[in-house]
Chains A and B, each alone.
Chain A
Amino acid sequence: MEKARKYQIIIAGRGGQGILLAGHILGKTLVKKGYYVVHSETYSAETRGGDSRSDLIVTIGEEPDLIRIRKADIAVFMFDEQMERYAKWVKDDATVILDSTYIDKPTKNWSKIISIPFSKLAEEKVRNRRVANMVMLGSLSVITGLFEVGLLKEVVAESVKPEWRDVNLKAIDVGFEAAKEMGLG
Chain B
Amino acid sequence: MRVEFISGNEASAEGAMTAGLKVYVGYPITPSSDLFEYLSEKLPERGGIVFQGEDEIASINALVGAALAGAKAMTATSGPGLSLMAEGIGLACMVEAPLVIVDVMRAGPSTGIATHVGQGDIMQSRWLSHGPYNLVAFAPFSAQEAFDYTVKAFNVAVRLRLPVILLSDATIAHTRERVVIKESGEIEVEDFKRPTVPPEKYRFYDPDPRDLVPPMAFLGEGYYIHAESLSHDERGYYDTRPSVYRRLVERLVKKVERNKKSIVASKSYYTDDAEILFVAFGSVARSTLALVRDLREQGIKAGLFRPISIWPLDDEKLIEASKRAKKVVVVELNQGQLVEVIEDALWHHQRYDVEVLSLPMILSETPSPDEILDEINSKGWKLW
Cross-chain pairs A/B with CB under 8 angstroms, 6 sampled: A31-B5, A37-B177, A37-B178, A39-B177, A40-B174, A65-B286
Q: Scoring A residues 66 to 87 as 1 if CB is less than 8 Å from chain B, else 0, what string do you get? A: 1110100000000000000000
Does A28 belong to the interface (CB within 8 Å)?
Answer: yes
A66 pairs with B369, CB closer than 8 A: yes
A70 pairs with B369, CB closer than 8 A: yes
Does A182 belong to the interface (CB within 8 Å)?
Answer: no
Q: Which residues of A are found within 8 Å of B176, using beta-carbon distances? A: 24, 27, 37-40
A36's nearest neighbour on chain B, judged by CB, is B178
Q: How far is A38 from B6 in the complex, measured between Cα atoms in Å?
A: 10
Known: A31-B3, A38-B177, A40-B174. A67 touches B287 (CB 8 A): yes
The 5 closest A-B pairs by CB, nearest first: A39-B176, A65-B290, A65-B289, A31-B5, A28-B5
Further pairs besides A40-B175, A65-B287, A67-B171: 10, Cβ < 8 Å: A37-B5, A37-B176, A38-B176, A65-B290, A66-B286, A66-B290, A67-B286, A67-B287, A70-B369, A70-B370
Does A92 belong to the interface (CB within 8 Å)?
Answer: no
Q: Which residues of B are found within 8 Å of A27, using beta-carbon distances? A: 5, 176
Does B155 belong to the interface (CB within 8 Å)?
Answer: no
A56's nearest neighbour on chain B, judged by CB, is B176
Does B296 belong to the interface (CB within 8 Å)?
Answer: yes
Q: Which residues of A are found within 8 Å of B368, using beta-carbon distances? A: 66, 68, 70
Q: Which residues of A are found within 8 Å of B366, using beta-carbon distances? A: 67-68
Does B119 belong to the interface (CB within 8 Å)?
Answer: no
B196 to chain A, nearest CB (A): 43
A1 pairs with B296, CB closer than 8 A: yes
Known: A31-B5, A67-B283. A41 touches B296 (CB 8 A): no
Does B353 belong to the interface (CB within 8 Å)?
Answer: no
B142 to chain A, nearest CB (A): 8
Does B41 belong to the interface (CB within 8 Å)?
Answer: no
